[in-house]
Amino acid sequence: MTRPAAKLARFAAALALSGCAALPVAPPLSSRAAGEAFRDCPDCPEMVVIPPGRFVMGTADEETDRWEGGRESPRHTVTIPYPFAIGRYEPSGPGRAGVEGRGNRVAA
pTM of the model: 0.54
pLDDT at 55: 92
54 in Cβ contact with 76 (< 8 Å): no
Percent of the chain scored above 70 by pLDDT?
A: 57
Q: What is the DSSP string of 83-108?
A: -EEEESS---HHHHHHHHHTT-----
pLDDT in tens, 13-60: 555 554 444 445 556 777 889 999 998 888 888 999 999 999 998 888
Percent of the chain scored above 90 by pLDDT?
A: 14
